[in-house]
Amino acid sequence: MEGQKLYVVVPCYNEEEVLPETVRRLTEKLRSLMDRGLAGPGSRMLLVDDGSRDRTWELIQGFHRENPLVEGVKLSHNRGHQNALLAGLMTARELCDVSISMDADLQDDIDAIDAMLEKYREGCDIVYGVRNNRDTDTAFKRGTALAFYRFMSAMGADTVYNHADYRLMSRRALDGLAQYREVNLFLRGLVPMIGYRTATVEYRRGERFAGESKYPLSKMLNFAIDGITSLSVRPIRVMTLLGGLLFGGGCLWLLVLLVLFCLGRGAQGVTWAVASVWTAAGLNLLGLGLIGEYLGKIYLETKARPRYLIETALLHEAG
């Protein structure tokens, strides 16, 4: 395991205020990791400029000239955090043995990198950075975050609780990720699907070092909706179920009315009308849900996700 080349991948969108400090700290970190043999020679940081409109790219170019540990890629225009991160990881895949992704704003404690690499040396392919505090958040943010995870998992999108995009991925895990051909990217839900040996490392998440959050509430809501609809078709199934219940209930009600009628205890016309409306509405929803089921299948087929990734194979050499 000695001398494994590490790439730290950092997506940057309008981060001119914090970038100099981030690069300074990461340089220090990488030097110390290499000195201690925790990361191999040739370890680097890869800064991805996600179509920034400020001086982010000029800064990256400057760092690259002066600092042998800094590399950069520039996206043609703003594609969003997830896509920028994927671009960085897929670039790093060709260059490194192990990658760590983190935000540019230094909210993720970079000292957790040591523990992540330790887990990697123990044989883990994916290590999730998990925040163990939410005291920098408001009660509102804490509450909504918890509700968000619960709802996500109820809707069939499994994510790691309190994990954002601070994670280690081995070359092999990156190769696996490369086989997921999703256009609507939600890495937090996708990476757990890859499998392999995983671990978590806890860290304290701090405040943004400088600059402003690039994730306002509207973007966060979109993120949640994308997360659910891009990972699972369970919402459709919920609709089918509801339609089935409604339709079944309506049928039962009509049956009861019919029996009463035969016994000579006919109900009022309006009761019949209401019962029929509910039954018909249920049938409608059921039909929609069924169509949705097929649509969902087509949807997942078009993603053409890999059906499996082989973790180990015990084979004998040919000949």
Q: By CB under 6 A, is residue 80 in contact with ligand UDP?
A: yes
Residue from 178, 215, 266, 291 touching ligand UDP (CB under 6 A): that is 215
Q: Compute the distance between CA of residue 143 and CA of residue 86 in angstroms, rounded to an integer.
A: 29
Which residue in 36, 47, 52, 49 sits closest to 7, CA to CA?
A: 47
Q: Compute the distance between CA of residue 124 and CA of residue 199 in angstroms, rounded to an integer.
A: 7
Query: How far from 58 is each of 20, 47, 62, 73, 88, CA to CA, in Å?
Result: 12, 12, 6, 12, 18
Q: Which of residues 237-296 bind ligand UDP (CB under 6 A)?
A: none
Contact segment (CB under 6 A) with ligand UDP among 12-20, 132-140, 287-295, 310-318 equals 12-20
Residue from 8, 12, 100, 187 touching ligand UDP (CB under 6 A): that is 12
The one-letter amino acid code at 12 reads C
Contact segment (CB under 6 A) with ligand UDP among 25-33, 209-217, 290-298, 301-309 equals 209-217
- The number of residues that bind ligand UDP (CB under 6 A) is 16
Least Å distance, CB 164 to Mg ion, is 8
Contact segment (CB under 6 A) with ligand UDP among 74-82, 132-140, 264-272, 289-297 equals 74-82
Q: Compute the distance between CA of residue 157 and CA of residue 148 in angstroms, rounded to an integer.
A: 11
Q: Compute the distance between CA of residue 214 and CA of residue 13 in angstroms, rounded to an integer.
A: 8
Binding mask 100-139 for Mg ion (x = CB under 5 A): ---x-x-x--------------------------------
Least Å distance, CB 206 to ligand UDP, is 11
Two structure tokens written together for 169: 């991925």
Those residues with Cβ within 8 angstroms of residue 238's Cβ, 6 or more apart along the chain or in another chain: none
Q: Compute the distance between CA of residue 193 and CA of residue 191 in angstroms, rounded to an integer.
A: 5
Q: Which of residues 19-48 bind Mg ion (CB under 5 A)?
A: none
Q: Which of residues 103-122 bind ligand UDP (CB under 6 A)?
A: 103-105, 107
Which residue in 120, 122, 116, 128 sits closest to 163, CA to CA?
A: 128
Which residue in 165, 107, 166, 162 sits closest to 136, CA to CA?
A: 107
Q: Could you tell which of Mg ion, ligand UDP, none binds residue 108, using a CB distance below 5 to 8 A set by kind?
A: none
3-state helix, strand, coil in the chain (%, to 5): 50, 15, 35
Contact segment (CB under 6 A) with ligand UDP among 101-109, 225-233, 259-267, 310-318 equals 101-109
Residue from 5, 29, 44, 81 touching ligand UDP (CB under 6 A): that is 81
Q: By CB under 6 A, is residue 213 in contact with ligand UDP?
A: yes
Q: Could you tell which of Mg ion, ligand UDP, none binds residue 215, using a CB distance below 5 to 8 A set by kind?
A: ligand UDP
**To 5 degrees, how large is the angle CA 120–CA 124–CA 125?**
95
Two structure tokens written together for 44: 């680097």
Binding mask 132-171 for ligand UDP (x = CB under 6 A): ----------------------------------------
* Contact between 208 and 107 (Cβ < 8 Å): yes
- The number of residues that bind Mg ion (CB under 5 A) is 3
Q: By CB under 5 A, is residue 198 in contact with Mg ion?
A: no
Positions in the binding site for ligand UDP (CB under 6 A): 11-13, 15, 50, 78, 80-81, 84, 103-105, 107, 213-215
Positions in the binding site for Mg ion (CB under 5 A): 103, 105, 107
